[in-house]
Structure 1
Amino acid sequence: MLETLDSRPEGLSDAEARRRLEEYGENEIVRGGGRSPSTILVAQFDSVLIWVLLVAAVLSVWAGQAVDAVLITIIVVANGIFGFVQDYRAERSLESLRELAAPTATVRRDGEEVQIGATELVPGDVIVFRGGDVVPADGRLLEATELEVDEAALTGESVPVGKSTEAVETDAPLADRTNLVYKGTNVTRGKGEAVVTGTGMETEVGGIARELAATKETQTPLQSDLDQLGRTLGLGILVLSALVAPLLILRGTEPVQAALTAVSLAVAAIPEGLPAVVTLTLALGVRTMSAENALVRRLPAVEALGAVDVVCTDKTGTLTEGRMTVSRLWVNDAVREFDDAPAPADLEERERLLLRIGALCNDATLEEGDPTERALLEAADRADLEQDRLAADYPRTDEVPFSSERKWMGTVHRTDEGTVGYVKGAPEVVLEHSDRVLTHDGPAALTDERRDRIEAAVRRFGDDALRVLATAYREDPEGADDLGDGLTFVGLVGMIDPPRTEVADAIAATKRAGIAVNMVTGDNVRTARAIADSLGIGTEVLEGREIEGMDDETLRERVAEVDVYARTSPEHKVRILRALQDRGHDVAMTGDGVNDAPALKNADVGVAMGIRGTDVARQASDVVLLDDNYATIERAIERGRAIFDNVWKFVAYLLSANVAEVAIVFVASLYGYLILPAVQLLWINLLTDGLPALALGADPEGEDVMDRPPRDPEGGIIGRQMVTLIGGMGAVTTVVLLVLMFATLEGAPETTPYAMTMVFTGFVFLEFVGLYVIRWLRETPTLSNRWLVAAVAASIALQLAVLYTPLNRYFGTVPLEPTDWGILAVVLAVALPGYLGVASVARRLER
């Protein structure tokens, strides 16, 4: 590698380093492909519905309804500003990658070790690093002494990786490249030297930054639905305006009044309250989810969670606790499950010896050090074998440090009876140096049959996703050099990064809701399959190296049957996501490492861990779990579905009323009647888009919200069920009110104030009846929303005000008598069965 990079063991010269710095540039993550603040701001108004609303504002001014125009404009501007703030924060994800860079680096120049700024490193430099350092650039190891590196942020591995200078296969997965080190990872122990192979954007972290920069923002299902709704309404409004005004003029209405009515009807058909209601509904969901430990960074992501049908989740720290713990002990065929911390008195002496070896042949403390060694100390502490007391009773006199080549560690201790040597390490290595085994009756010869039983136990531990260490001892060694042979094998320690206790139930609930769960991890196949099986995810595994050999079409076919993706790299995760999305899935991706950032940003919903997550992952995500608890995802999905239901209910409520408005005015105009003048249409619109609609945003979830399959994102918000509901309820309202109109006109050649008042008031009350029918369709408890009850009461009070106060002269209404209210009660009683019948048909369509 030195020859390839035209370097040498003593490093580059200063002159050559300066030349290469000019050629390759500084060793930093370059921001590129991001959006400027002005671009983000303009994008907030790139919506068909927003443009329709702005046109409505202009029409309202022309129609003399300045208040309505001001209200629409305020809504549009407020939503734009709020969206800008959210999106601008998301653009900081690339900036976070800069923080991974080490500020300084130790480099060998002309044979001398010097400290330089990490940004000045170039390919060919020879860097030196020790425990506690951050690797400043990607490199190929030249020397490695007991070197271990924590690469969890890149690979998802839950334990530090032992490094060596031995060559590995060129196509080895990232997690298996033990002779390479990567920029931004942490050296946990030992010392190493490496020749720099990549700097800046040519590092693994740089590749992730490039991936993030190239990722395009995608619309959530709700955003797409609202755009489609805007296009549909825009076309409908043009047709409406072109038909209504000429009809009214032909039937004798003055041209100005006819034009004013057509414009008012067009404005009434536009749901100008929809952005406000959606924003409020999402904001209420954000507040609720924050209280439930889910921090939402983009408002639309709340609803988008409710549409996902696949969750791709990392393992370490997400499904598991992100720490190693002793789970099982084995001593000559006797197995002790250690999960529940047996009482010290229950432990056999051989088990106590095994734990004592693990605690004394150890360089960590309970607070810091290698995770595996800390797990051994914690297990001994649980067995009342405290580290300080053991160290005092068995003082260390000599040691053989652990190395990745040797794969074992040994220590020599002084006792009252003499000296004793303790060894722990890889089972196959410890077995190789042992000639006896500790049995219940004392040490015995390590026969081939006993060796086979030990090896079988190691395999069983591995099948259960346990990391296995073996322990042994030697009596009266003269020093550490005597620990290489003549050992007495004691037993095995099985350790695991344990699954979170609540995760299995959360996954089961997610699956009941029709959502598939896939594990995507850097762990090996055996560990990944065992963890996934124990959590109920599944056992069909696809390995990273297999993905590399597949074209996109083959991968697209395979993802339909895979539960677990093992030994994956960042590129694999993005390909998996794209394959799932190409099959029509809405995918939520959880993760916590730098390696997860591209997938988080590409996913329909990116969910990052807040405690263990890197800042890069958090900034690239849509939702951050403050407690790193997978169960929070299940609750967030439930909340997302409820939010979509509330938006759905509002759209159904609003458009069913708008259809009726249009139909009534249109049919009445054919007979020469202007039954609902502009001011009354706009008043109905205000009551509809006002308090009751806003209160719907606080509706609790329906009782069946997690018993339904995910909604089809391709179906849109206005699917068959919505069309049936809008058309059916609109038709019932139209027929009932037209009958009321003709009955109250009593043959008059022109519209009378009394008839207008009856139809006007009947329309308002029918809307509120329809509202509760729509809530019933979504199985929302009738009186569960006190805000809605208050909003309906307030709207009724406002309607009464335009009947019984001097305001009635502005609305062309007259006070109603008790008998009139009796007639309206009959109208409601007739309409209610019709509404319920339509809702029943719509419910069957959903199923």
Structure 2
Amino acid sequence: MEAQSPGGTPLPDWHTLSAEEVEREVGADLSGLSTGEAEARLQRYGKNVLREEARESRLQVFLQQFKSVLIVILIIAAAASFLAGEPLDAAAILIIVVLNAILGYSQEWQAGEAIEALRKMLVQHAVVVRDGERREIDASGMVPGDLVLLEMGERVPADIYIVEATSLEVDEAPLTGESSPVDKAPGRLPAGTPLAERSNMAFAGTTVVNGHGRGFVVATGMETEFGQIAGLSQRVADETTPLARQMDRLGRDLGLIALGIAALVVVVGLLQQRGLLEMFLVGVSLAVAVIPEGLPAVVTLTLAIGIKTMMRRNCLIRHLPASETLGAVSVICTDKTGTLTRNEMAVVRVRTADTEVAVTGAGYLPIGEFLAGEKPVDPLADPGLRQFLRTVLLCNHATLALEEGGWRVFGTPTEGALVVAAEKAGLSRDDAPEPEKEFSFNSTRKRMTIIYPEGEGDVAHMKGAPEVLLARSSRVLRGGSVVPLTDELRDALLAELDEYASQGLRVLGAACRTLPAGIEWTADTVETDLVFLGFAGIVDPPRPEAAEAIRLCRSAGIDVIMITGDNPLTASAIARDLGLSSEGALTGAELEALGDDELEERLKTTKVLSRVTAEHKLRVIDVLSRDRQVIAMTGDGVNDAPALKKASIGIAMGIKGTDAAKESSDMVLVDDNFASIVAGVEEGRREYDNISRFTRYLLSSNVGEIVAIVGALLLGLPLILIPVQILWINLVTDGLTALALGLEPAEQDVMQRRPRDPQESILTRSAYLVILILGVWLGLLTIYVFMGLYAVDLDRARTMAFTGLIIFELYNVLNFRSFRFPLHRIGFFSNPALILAILGSLALQALVVYVPIFNAFLGTAPLTFADWGLLALLGLPVLLAGEVYKILRLRVRSGSPASS
């Protein structure tokens, strides 16, 4: 999409212009704008701020909790109960609905309390030239044409065309995903240059990490690259989670079933010449029996408990349903830097003219070995290696310091890696003299030189692109002596350099030269006739646990796609190290050339995407979604925000993630570790399994109530359960055990199963069959108990049926602890919360049976000990039948060829 000015006219591709052309285009001047002109432009272009996306009010967030179809049906049931003359039933249902809404509201409002992230990313002040003078102004007052001064450590306040640069390096990771700082220098670039390679531009929201420079503002506010991504993020609609869709579908189904059964029973009753008021009461009882009043609250509480569990596994969930959605993930699109890797550059290999050594150690900790083959060597005893390390240490601006929490590098990560390598060898800059002269690095020179006094002369220490240094070298340090650099050795070193690059290593070379007395110190005179010292291979190493996490994803049927702003060679090398199988790497430019069908086919085999933009990530999500995939997208930068918002579940980095990414996400990864995502997937699968378990359990219990009420009606018996008794079962006894069922531990093979189909209902055909069989069994047992006593004592008969149904359901809950494994396999006491819930339910039922105030409220009568024993014996076969079925099913499966 072509960028446009505030007036609607197309903007030029600034990077394709020269400094003079930019100056004319924006009406700039090297002496800066006048105050009057700046104020006029501010009126024309508007403030340098981002449009705010209005945050929902507290009332809106609270009302959203009532959007579920199931909640609406419960409110209707409460109204029906009130009209039927059962105000206590109506009040009980409404209390549950309101408590559920308060719990959901509390979680979501707390998660949204942070200040608008994209606004926070813009700097508050900037240094510009106005009326020929240097001034510090509020960045919101900056306008196109302003001349801005950029210094190390400052955020870039707008999109700026660079006109002067001295060792200027900018961290663009929040915008492009590029892990290494980008060198900036003036000069025209070809059309079509990717955003990450526009070295003549500095973009809003990025940070200057080295050097200084100045340039003209070419875009402000929503016209910046940052602003366009912010607008893209605001246009992306939030995705409905699979669980929310399934619960709404279940609510609609239950609503239709409730209406159908209630209407049918009322008609049958009227045909039996029963009274209209009696049949209305029966209809309300059936409606209450069909709808599992406690289900929304149990789902919400289970997800809330799951959120606390995930937090212990470094997954901070921002929205309740997201914890379960994580368990449905079938594709994880993950960033590379800091997620799959440590985000700590390290020297892993050093090549000199004499030898090649591997360097060990972790992160920025200055402890490690130098290995020739597998044999440790003393780097200071090798003249070539010692001189190489000394030069890269002296030709360096980075420092290493021990702070609380570990070692930290101040400076660019690449320079920091060289300092750490030198300190591993025992070298230090503490005793070095003050440098006398520096020729700074830039993207054109591709080298840096610092001159130090040594002995009675001066030595130039240089580092940079190895091929550049080799071209300026005529000698090499070999065997402790300086000897001529032959063409054969030069070619051999260049070949090894290509090998390093093919392995995804960032390579830096080093050279030095003792300067002749009396020469003029210019870059041309100093940086020639060099002594080449060698080169180092630098990498951001993979996290040690990431490879195992990817293997676990593979066994769980989850595709992993690495999406990074880094170059394809580096990305492919990291993928190989992690065991991520991919047919090559797909760049952003190549992705644009593919149609949707071609891209969908390519993504089946190519799992490494490099040099991608925000639009590319959105397109990947769209293409993957066509195949009904549930997509987790990780990200840390501003450029990731739209994709994080659009994905099924957006995962922002907690350590290096921007506020923009966190605010657009459903989950924040506290430790930035890919392995924690996989742990979260396991927890999400456990949550969904448990939601499925207690949903089926509650519905089988409700079918039992329906069968008991309808069966008694068809047999011409009195109403077997009154509405308040049904409500007690659904909210109290069933609610306690269902909530405890939500704490069931994960089954051992939870990460050996393929992801579930997000379109599949939470209730499959086999689930409906089990619910029906068990429900009919429970209902018929209840009728049997009632028929033996109702003619003698209706209150006692109702109490036996009421208590019996609860006991039968408490047996039944044990059937739903696992759909496949019997109790002796999963452990009878492996879920102690469920045992306590069963005992608690029995204790509560004893209260309503024996305490007079409850007798009056629930229409119960005291039972004898023999009554309790009879009910316990009648219910035992419910559990035994389930256990026998699971044992036989396991034996059949273990004996089949498919299971071997």
Scaled by the length of structure 1, the TM-score of the pair is: 0.93
Amino acid at match of 2:835: V
Shift of 1:471: 0.9
Quickly say closer, same or farther: Cα 1:91–1:555, change in 2 above 3 A: farther
In structure 1, what is the equivalent of residue 38 of structure 2? 17
Amino acid at match of 1:387: R
Equivalent-residue separation in structure 1 for 2:87 and 2:889 (angstroms): 38
In structure 2, what is the equivalent of residue 323 of structure 1? 344
Equivalent-residue separation in structure 1 for 2:820 and 2:634 (angstroms): 29
Equivalent-residue separation in structure 2 for 1:103 and 1:810 (angstroms): 65
Amino acid at match of 2:396: N
In structure 2, what is the equivalent of residue 653 of structure 1? 697
Do 1:102 and 1:118's aligned partners in 2 also have CA atoms closer than 8 Å?
Answer: yes
| From 486, 489, 492, the counterpart of 1:453 | 492
In structure 2, what is the equivalent of residue 835 of structure 1? 882
Amino acid at match of 1:447: T
| From 128, 132, 137, the counterpart of 1:116 | 137
Quickly say closer, same or farther: Cα 1:215–1:259, change in 2 above 3 A: same
Q: Which moved more, 1:36-45 or 1:374-383?
A: 36-45
Matches within 5 A, 1:13-412: 13-32=34-53, 34-88=55-109, 95-251=116-272, 253-332=274-353, 334-340=355-361, 341-342=368-369, 346-347=378-379, 348-367=382-401, 368-389=410-431, 391-392=432-433, 396-412=435-451
Q: Which moved more, 1:78-87 or 1:602-611?
A: 78-87
In structure 1, what is the equivalent of residue 815 of structure 2? 773
Quickly say closer, same or farther: Cα 1:506–1:333, change in 2 above 3 A: farther
Q: Which moved more, 1:771-780 or 1:134-143?
A: 771-780
Do 2:319 and 2:666's aligned partners in 1 also have CA atoms closer than 8 Å?
Answer: yes
Do 2:447 and 2:462's aligned partners in 1 also have CA atoms closer than 8 Å?
Answer: yes
Equivalent-residue separation in structure 1 for 2:237 and 2:107 (angstroms): 16
Per-residue CA deviation, residues 299-347 of structure 1 (Å, 9 max, x unaligned), is: 1111111111111111112112222211111112622111232169622
Quickly say closer, same or farther: Cα 1:131–1:783, change in 2 above 3 A: same
- CA-based RMSD: 2.8
| From 817, 831, 847, the counterpart of 1:785 | 831
Equivalent-residue separation in structure 1 for 2:889 and 2:261 (angstroms): 26
The answer to whether 1:439 aligns with 2:447 is no
Equivalent-residue separation in structure 2 for 1:817 and 1:272 (angstroms): 31
In structure 1, what is the equivalent of residue 634 of structure 2? 590
Matches within 5 A, 1:478-627: 478=517, 480-481=521-522, 482-540=525-583, 541-627=585-671
In structure 2, what is the equivalent of residue 632 of structure 1? 676
Quickly say closer, same or farther: Cα 1:749–1:68, change in 2 above 3 A: closer
Quickly say closer, same or farther: Cα 1:214–1:33, change in 2 above 3 A: farther
Shift of 1:493: 0.9
Equivalent-residue separation in structure 2 for 1:110 and 1:813 (angstroms): 90
Do 2:328 and 2:685's aligned partners in 1 also have CA atoms closer than 8 Å?
Answer: yes
Equivalent-residue separation in structure 2 for 1:92 and 1:142 (angstroms): 41
Equivalent-residue separation in structure 2 for 1:48 and 1:841 (angstroms): 39
Quickly say closer, same or farther: Cα 1:666–1:519, change in 2 above 3 A: same
Equivalent-residue separation in structure 2 for 1:166 and 1:187 (angstroms): 19
The answer to whether 1:711 aligns with 2:756 is yes
Q: Which moved more, 1:824-833 or 1:311-320?
A: 824-833
Q: Which moved more, 1:808-817 or 1:107-116?
A: 808-817
Do 1:573 and 1:599's aligned partners in 2 also have CA atoms closer than 8 Å?
Answer: yes
The answer to whether 1:473 aligns with 2:526 is no
Shift of 1:833: 4.5
The answer to whether 1:797 aligns with 2:818 is no
Equivalent-residue separation in structure 1 for 2:742 and 2:879 (angstroms): 24
Name the SS of the counterpart of 1:775 in structure 2. coil
Do 1:399 and 1:410's aligned partners in 2 also have CA atoms closer than 8 Å?
Answer: yes
Per-residue CA deviation, residues 400-438 of structure 1 (Å, 9 max, x unaligned), is: 222222111122333346443321110111010011222
Name the SS of the counterpart of 1:714 in structure 2. coil
Do 2:812 and 2:878's aligned partners in 1 also have CA atoms closer than 8 Å?
Answer: no
Amino acid at match of 1:832: L
In structure 2, what is the equivalent of residue 689 of structure 1? 734
Q: Unaligned regions of 5+ residues in structure 1, if any?
A: none
Shift of 1:463: 2.0
Q: Which moved more, 1:261-270 or 1:350-359?
A: 261-270
The answer to whether 1:730 aligns with 2:757 is no
Name the SS of the counterpart of 1:4 in structure 2. helix
Do 2:179 and 2:565's aligned partners in 1 also have CA atoms closer than 8 Å?
Answer: no
The answer to whether 1:420 aligns with 2:459 is yes
Name the SS of the counterpart of 2:343 in structure 1. coil
Amino acid at match of 2:710: F
Per-residue CA deviation, residues 526-570 of structure 1 (Å, 9 max, x unaligned), is: 111111121122233211112223344443343333201100112
Quickly say closer, same or farther: Cα 1:827–1:172, change in 2 above 3 A: same
In structure 2, what is the equivalent of residue 699 of structure 1? 744
Scaled by the length of structure 2, the TM-score of the pair is: 0.88
Do 2:103 and 2:300's aligned partners in 1 also have CA atoms closer than 8 Å?
Answer: no
Equivalent-residue separation in structure 2 for 1:434 and 1:585 (angstroms): 55
Do 1:167 and 1:179's aligned partners in 2 also have CA atoms closer than 8 Å?
Answer: yes
Shift of 1:358: 0.6
Q: Which moved more, 1:553-562 or 1:216-225?
A: 553-562
Query: How many residues get paired?
Result: 841
Amino acid at match of 2:756: R
Equivalent-residue separation in structure 1 for 2:703 and 2:888 (angstroms): 19
Amino acid at match of 2:558: I
Shift of 1:810: 6.2
Name the SS of the counterpart of 1:495 in structure 2. strand
Equivalent-residue separation in structure 2 for 1:52 and 1:840 (angstroms): 39
Do 2:655 and 2:670's aligned partners in 1 also have CA atoms closer than 8 Å?
Answer: yes
Amino acid at match of 1:645: D
Shift of 1:255: 3.5
Name the SS of the counterpart of 1:518 in structure 2. strand
Q: Which moved more, 1:545-554 or 1:431-440?
A: 545-554
What percent identity do the matched residue pairs reach?
44
Equivalent-residue separation in structure 1 for 2:528 and 2:779 (angstroms): 95
Equivalent-residue separation in structure 1 for 2:625 and 2:124 (angstroms): 39
Name the SS of the counterpart of 1:465 in structure 2. coil
Do 1:124 and 1:197's aligned partners in 2 also have CA atoms closer than 8 Å?
Answer: yes
Q: Which moved more, 1:659-668 or 1:547-556?
A: 547-556
Q: Unaligned regions of 5+ residues in structure 2, if any?
A: 1-21, 362-367, 371-375, 402-409
Shift of 1:826: 4.6
In structure 1, what is the equivalent of residue 19 of structure 2? none
Q: Which moved more, 1:134-143 or 1:397-406?
A: 397-406
Equivalent-residue separation in structure 2 for 1:96 and 1:424 (angstroms): 39
Equivalent-residue separation in structure 1 for 2:698 and 2:513 (angstroms): 83
Do 1:427 and 1:468's aligned partners in 2 also have CA atoms closer than 8 Å?
Answer: yes
